[in-house]
Amino acid sequence: MIELKVNGRTHSVAADPDTPLLYVLRGELQLNAAKYGCGLGQCGACTVTVDGEAVFSCVTPILLLEGKEVTTLEGLGTAEAPGPMQRAFIEEQAAQCGYCIAGMMMRAQALLQKTPGASDAEIRRELEPHLCRCGTHMRILRAVRRAATAMQSAAAGETGR
Amino acid sequence: MSPSLSRRAVLQGAGGLVVSFALSPAGFAQQAAETPQHDGAKLPGSLAESPFLESWIKVGADGAVTAFTGKAELGQGIATALCQIAAEELGLPFAAVAIVTADTGLTPNEGYTAGSHSMQDSGTAIRNAAAQLREILVGEAARRLGVPADGLWVEAGAVAGPDGARLSYGDLAGGLSLHVQAQPTSRLTDPGRFRVMNRPVPRIDIPAKVTGGAAYVQDMRLPGMLHARIVRPPSYGARLTALDSSAVEAMAGVVKVVRDGDFLAVLAEQEFQAVKAMRVLAMAAAWQEDAKLPDPARMSETLLALPAQDFTILDRHEGGAATGTTVAATYSRPYLSHGSIGPSCAVALDQDGAMTVWTHTQGVYPDRKAIAEMLGRPLERVRCIHTPGSGCYGHNGADDAAADAALLAAALPGRPVRVQWMREQEHAWEPYGPAMVTKARATLDATGRITDWDYGVWSNTHSMRPGPAGSLLAAQHMARAFAPPEPKPLPQPEGGGDRNGIPLYAFPNARVVHHFLPDMPLRISALRSLGAQMNVFSIESFMDELALAADADPVEFRLKHLQDPRAQDTIIAAAQAFGWERGSPVEPDRGRGFAFARYKNLAAYCAVAVEVAVTRETGEVRIPRVVAAVDTGQVVNPDGVRNQIEGAILQSMSWCLYESVGFDAGRITSVDWSTYPILRFSAVPDSVEVRIIDRPGLPFLGCGETGQGPTGAAIANAIADATGQRLRDLPMTAAKVKAAIGV
């Protein structure tokens, strides 16, 4: 059994150690957000964060993840109480089919946690590993920008208290 | 969880079944007697095929209103737009209407969700059905209150009248039947009084999609569900000659290996166990291959040499003999992949002789027919429930995955089976958008007017969709194999390979021939906009070539040849928003391009203007700015229209700049995103602006595919403007641009 910490909770996982994290998230842990897109680290649909860094869960075996903090899109909020990144994507209506979006949001989240003042060019460069086939790119860029602004003003509010 | 639950209930894990309208025999008889039969006038939209109001809209005893559509939510926002329409006509807040989408057990049969038809077909049906339901409810309230109907009004789910009279929809509906035929005309809400339509309403499917909710067929987890993976043949027509599956059967979690002729699959308890078993099974299978694919470098010559059935789809002789400057050009495009980000997926359960398939197909009814034929079962023992998947953009692997799941579920009755294709399977086996060639020739008179137009398009069909079982891979591969159906050209006015082959421009002499090619070297079917993308690319590139020959501004040149005022308005709106001025100076290696089309010559109008920047040393094309104008008739969700047009523009950019299916003498070689590159963020424009032309009260036109054609031509025209070189062979890769510039 491997112990995996996902969205703040520790799980004992029965899967073989070579199992990519994606299959454990979607299977044993019944989490929907991370998606199978290519299994090759080419499209980004499976992206989650591990200790704050964006990783492709489809090519990351769970044996590498003991003692690390995995965060999936479910960890950022819920439909009833969305986090700033989720709220921004809803406000910008930044999805068509939406299949790629969870991965985009997780990489953007990792970027903004490290670089709260990321420029538009940095956001665009960071999202380069992610594919969107519906052509929602303009809205995705706007949503990440909106999330950055919201997260910065929230942070400023906390500092001010 | 029972398969009889609705899609929505399954996905939300909730028990909320749609409440059927209470059918009281007395009410039914009374209503039927009061319903005059209309005198053969055609009913609006899909009411023509499904004329009963109850097929489209129901009111529960609790007043809950549910709309039903045979169209599928593909990420284009149709579920939201249809709820807006029903809410508008029933005087309800947007959130008060629920919707059930394509399900052979619950919804009307509206064929495929394709061709930008959903708003015209389903939107029109639901709007009229909802308006007629409102009148029925008001009429019933008038009867009960003993007052004239014209003194009553609807508000917040009730019919209200003077002196505080108020009867809720649920109360009124209790004694009525909606098993009544729709009337040809309805009292539709005046666009000036819209509260919900023509307003940007947030899409109902987005919150789940951005929070990890169960939003897709991929997310279904039924009790006892097995995971399956298919081992596809290595090439078209390959036959399985030897198989030793004993090692696979001994693997952890493996429940069964299924072989039926050349159809081969493995089922396991856990998904990754199925993936690992699939890999071992693939190694254990021996195939005899005999596919012979054409030389991709000579695809145009191949197509032109294939036997053709010629259809003259336009033959107009209204002017004198053409004299003047003659211009001719040939254009081509490769096979294109739908390239869904999520490979196709389906879940099926064979329980007590009834097969239920959850699928992201575009056509639940045709898919049901094909699956029933494949399984040798009566139609009524198969139910297909649309469940969203990754965007499809036409006929991708969705129907095939549904067939895979059904065939495997039939091998293990009582256990739900989930199949998801691997990336390389989706890329190698999906039915591509066909390669095409077009040839154009035109004559300009001394005044710079086109007097003669001669155009031909060489293409396969653009639909090999189910219906017939032989459309399904599993049915083709199983021992009791079904042959693929004979390809058919799709008829005008919508057309297939010849979609938009007839120019909207008014030329006195014009001839257009569709050279239909029945032989299909690669597996093909419908890709978003069918032949329109290539025909519009060709016609609109050629219009710029002619404008250049006539020394005319491309925008003025188009306007001069158009008579349709809505076409002219659309072009002018895009040109003005872009700041298009004749001969305006541009920086070196920068260019601008313009293009226009009315999709199918009968759906939405779209004009696109782009600015490009070409890096001469590499041939790389960047598109900093795009402006589009669209006239899609009455708009329901303006933000939904924008999202569709933006998406069409970016997807078409990707097709036209980067994409072509790769293959060698026997096998498909573009099997992932490195061998089939598409648009990435570094190439995304700085701005994409969409202007919507307001057309209150005009019929819905459907906008999902109208941007596809003009975008590619606008890019080609802008590259020609920037470099002086005309690219006629898609995709316009950096290598081709560099070669054309000759640096």
- Taking only the tens place, the pLDDT of each residue in B658-686 is 999 999 999 999 999 999 999 999 999 99
Q: State residue B175's pLDDT score.
A: 82
Residue B204 shares a structural domain with residue B222:
no
Residues B418-443: what's their mean pLDDT?
Answer: 98
Q: Can you tell me the distance from the alpha carbon of B420 to that of B397, in angstroms, rounded to the nearest whole number?
A: 10
**CA-wise closest residue to B364 among B577, B101, B116:** B101
Residues 6 or more apart whose Cβ sits within 8 Å of residue A154:
A84
Contacting residues of A for B202, CB less than 8 Å apart: 90, 93
Question: Alpha carbon of B632 to those of B117, B158, B499, B567: distances in Å?
Answer: 12, 33, 18, 11
The amino acid at B147: V
Burial class (CB in 10 A: 0-12, 13-18, 19+), B485: middle
Residue B304 lies in a domain: no
Contacting residues of B for A78, CB less than 8 Å apart: 211
Q: Can you tell me the distance from the alpha carbon of B470 to that of B14, in angstroms, rounded to the nearest whole number?
A: 37
Q: Distance, in angstroms, between B74 CA and closest chain A CA?
A: 6
Q: Please indicate whether, in this complex, the C-beta atoms of B212 and A124 are within 8 angstroms of each other.
A: no
Residue B227 lies in a domain: yes
Q: Over the range B73-92, which residues count as b (16 or more CB within 10 Å of their CB) and which as e?
A: bbbbbbbbbbbbbbbbbbbb
Q: Please indicate whether, in this complex, the C-beta atoms of A132 and B341 are within 8 angstroms of each other.
A: yes
Residue B323 has pLDDT above 60, yes or no: yes
B319 interface with A at CB cutoff 8 Å:
no
B685 interface with A at CB cutoff 8 Å:
yes
Q: State residue B30's pLDDT score.
A: 36
Residue B302 lies in a domain: no
Q: Please indicate whether, in this complex, the C-beta atoms of A27 and B272 are within 8 angstroms of each other.
A: yes
Residue B261 shares a structural domain with residue B391:
yes
Across the interface, which of A38, A90, A137 has its CB nearest the CB of B206? A90
Structure tokens belonging to residue B165? 């009279």
**CA-wise closest residue to B647 among B679, B675, B615:** B679
Q: Distance, in angstroms, between B388 CA and closest chain A CA?
A: 8
Q: State residue B40's pLDDT score.
A: 66
Residue B6 has pLDDT above 60, yes or no: no
Residue B317 lies in a domain: no
**Looking at chain B, which residue has its C-alpha nearest residue A14?**
B270
Q: Are B634 and B709 in contact (CB under 8 A)?
A: no
Q: Please indicate whether, in this complex, the C-beta atoms of B210 and A95 are within 8 angstroms of each other.
A: yes
Residue B110 shares a structural domain with residue B154:
yes
Question: What CATH number is given to the structural domain containing B531?
Answer: 3.30.365.10
Residue B511 CB neighbour total at 10 angstroms = 17
Residue B473 lies in a domain: no
Q: Can you tell me the distance from the alpha carbon of B712 to that of B718, in angstroms, rounded to the nearest whole number?
A: 10
Structure tokens belonging to residue B707? 């941007």
Quote the domain boundaries for residue B271.
Answer: 217-290+338-429
Q: Please indicate whether, in this complex, the C-beta atoms of B672 and A82 are within 8 angstroms of each other.
A: no
Q: State residue B322's pLDDT score.
A: 66
Band of pLDDT at residue B174, cut at 50, 70 and 90: confident
By DSSP bridging, strand B65-68 and strand B97-100 are parallel
Q: Which helix (H) or strand (E) holds B437?
A: strand B436-444
Residue B582 shares a structural domain with residue B718:
yes
Residue B444 shares a structural domain with residue B421:
no
Q: Can you tell me the distance from the alpha carbon of B168 to that of A75, in angstroms, rounded to the nearest whole number?
A: 42
Residue B514 shares a structural domain with residue B604:
yes
Q: Please indicate whether, in this complex, the C-beta atoms of A133 and B218 are within 8 angstroms of each other.
A: no
Q: State residue A160's pLDDT score.
A: 59
What residues 50-89 of chain B have any CB closer than 8 A to a CB of chain A? 74-77
By DSSP bridging, strand B620-631 and strand B605-615 are antiparallel
Residue B576 shares a structural domain with residue B687:
yes
Structure tokens belonging to residue A57? 């869960």
**Looking at chain A, which residue has its C-alpha nearest residue B673?**
A42
Question: Across the strands, what pairs with B613?
Answer: B590, B622
Residues 6 or more apart whose Cβ sits within 8 Å of residue B552:
B448, B560
Residues B703-732: what's their mean pLDDT?
Answer: 97
Q: Can you tell me the distance from the alpha carbon of B49 to that of B36, in angstroms, rounded to the nearest whole number?
A: 19
Q: Please indicate whether, in this complex, the C-beta atoms of B271 and A100 are within 8 angstroms of each other.
A: no
Q: Please indicate whether, in this complex, the C-beta atoms of A135 and B651 are within 8 angstroms of each other.
A: yes
pLDDT tens digits, one per residue of A51-100: 999 999 999 999 999 999 999 999 999 999 999 999 999 999 999 999 99
**CA-wise closest residue to B265 among B285, B288, B235, B286:** B285
Residue B19 has pLDDT above 70, yes or no: no
Which one-letter DSSP state was computed for residue B53?
G
Task: Say whether A130 sits in a helix, a strand or coil.
Answer: coil
The phi, psi pair for A7, rounded to 5°, reads 50, 40
Q: Are B79 and B99 in contact (CB under 8 A)?
A: yes
Q: State residue B583's pLDDT score.
A: 74
**Overall size of chain B counted in residues:** 743
Q: State residue A143's pLDDT score.
A: 98
pLDDT tens digits, one per residue of B32-84: 333 444 556 899 999 999 999 999 999 999 999 999 999 999 999 999 999 99
Residue B9 has pLDDT above 90, yes or no: no
B643 interface with A at CB cutoff 8 Å:
yes
Residue B543 shares a structural domain with residue B639:
yes
Residue B7 has pLDDT above 90, yes or no: no
pLDDT tens digits, one per residue of B447-464: 999 999 999 999 999 999
Contacting residues of A for B362, CB less than 8 Å apart: none
Q: Can you tell me the distance from the alpha carbon of B451 to that of B23, in angstroms, rounded to the nearest whole number?
A: 64
Contact pairs from chain A to chain B, CB under 8 Å? 181
Structure tokens belonging to residue B334? 């490769």
DSSP B318-357: -S----SEEEEEEEEE--B----SSPPEEEEEEETTEEEE
**CA-wise closest residue to B632 among B702, B561, B720, B527:** B702
Domains for chain A: give ranges and CATH numbers: 2-160 (3.10.20.30)
Place of tokens 């307001």: B694
Number of domains comprising chain B: 3
Task: State which of B152, B186, B209 marks the end of a domain.
Answer: B209
The phi, psi pair for B27, rounded to 5°, reads -60, -40
Residues A127-152: what's their mean pLDDT?
Answer: 97
**CA-wise closest residue to B656 among B685, B621, B690, B691:** B621
Residue B84 shares a structural domain with residue B131:
yes
Residue B544 shares a structural domain with residue B627:
yes
Residues B72-98: what's their mean pLDDT?
Answer: 97
Q: Are B488 and B514 in contact (CB under 8 A)?
A: no
Residue B395 shares a structural domain with residue B519:
no
Q: Can you tell me the distance from the alpha carbon of A102 to that of B512, in angstroms, rounded to the nearest whole number?
A: 47
Task: State which of B209, B236, B251 marks the end of a domain.
Answer: B209
Residue B259 lies in a domain: yes
- The dihedral region occupied by B164, where left means phi > 0, alpha psi between -120 and 50, and beta the remainder, is left
Q: State residue B319's pLDDT score.
A: 80
Q: State residue B39's pLDDT score.
A: 57
In chain A, what percentage of residues exceed pLDDT 90? Answer: 94
Alpha-helical (H) ranges within B174-312 are 206-209, 246-249, 271-284, 299-305
pLDDT tens digits, one per residue of B543-555: 999 999 999 999 9
pLDDT tens digits, one per residue of B527-570: 999 999 999 999 999 999 999 999 999 999 999 999 999 999 99
In chain B, what percentage of residues exceed pLDDT 70? Answer: 94
B646 interface with A at CB cutoff 8 Å:
yes
Residues B289-295: what's their mean pLDDT?
Answer: 97
pLDDT tens digits, one per residue of B100-128: 999 999 999 999 999 999 999 999 999 99
Angle between helices B708-723 and B734-741 (to 10 degrees): 30
pLDDT tens digits, one per residue of A11-20: 999 999 999 9
The phi, psi pair for B257, rounded to 5°, reads -105, 130
Q: Can you tell me the distance from the alpha carbon of B213 to that of B205, in angstroms, rounded to the nearest whole number?
A: 10
**Looking at chain A, which residue has its C-alpha nearest residue B675?**
A42
Place of tokens 């036209």: B656
Task: State which of B412, B429, B446 marks the end of a domain.
Answer: B429
Q: Are B61 and B173 in contact (CB under 8 A)?
A: yes
pLDDT tens digits, one per residue of B187-198: 999 999 999 999
| This prediction's pTM | 0.95
**CA-wise closest residue to B615 among B592, B594, B650, B588:** B588
Q: Distance, in angstroms, between B69 CA and closest chain A CA?
A: 18
Residue B481 lies in a domain: no
pLDDT tens digits, one per residue of B474-519: 999 999 999 999 999 999 999 999 999 999 999 999 999 999 999 9
Contacting residues of B for A98, CB less than 8 Å apart: 75, 205-206, 209-210, 215
In chain B, what percentage of residues exceed pLDDT 90? Answer: 91
Residue B320 has pLDDT above 80, yes or no: no
Residue B59 lies in a domain: yes
What residues 647-676 of chain B have any CB closer than 8 A to a CB of chain A? 647-651, 653-654, 672-674
**CA-wise closest residue to B68 among B14, B115, B133:** B133
The amino acid at B225: M
Residue B402 has pLDDT above 80, yes or no: yes
- The dihedral region occupied by B424, where left means phi > 0, alpha psi between -120 and 50, and beta the remainder, is alpha
Place of tokens 């917040």: B156
Q: Over the range A94-121, which residues count as b (16 or more CB within 10 Å of their CB) and which as e?
A: bbbbbbbbbbbbbbbbbbbeeeeebeee
Band of pLDDT at residue B151, cut at 50, 70 and 90: very high
Q: Distance, in angstroms, between B171 CA and closest chain A CA?
A: 32
Q: Are B135 and B172 in contact (CB under 8 A)?
A: no
Contacting residues of B for A132, CB less than 8 Å apart: 341
pLDDT tens digits, one per residue of B589-626: 999 999 999 999 999 999 999 999 999 999 999 999 99
Residue B245 shares a structural domain with residue B274:
yes
Q: Say yes or no: ipTM exceeds 0.90.
A: yes
Q: Can you tell me the distance from the alpha carbon of B286 to that of B238, in angstroms, rounded to the nearest whole number?
A: 10
Q: State residue B377's pLDDT score.
A: 98
By DSSP bridging, strand B417-420 and strand B226-231 are parallel
Q: Distance, in angstroms, between A161 CA and closest chain B CA?
A: 29
B391 interface with A at CB cutoff 8 Å:
yes
What residues 185-244 of chain B have any CB closer than 8 A to a CB of chain A? 202-203, 205-216, 218-219, 221
Across the interface, which of B212, B271, B646 has its CB nearest the CB of A33? B212
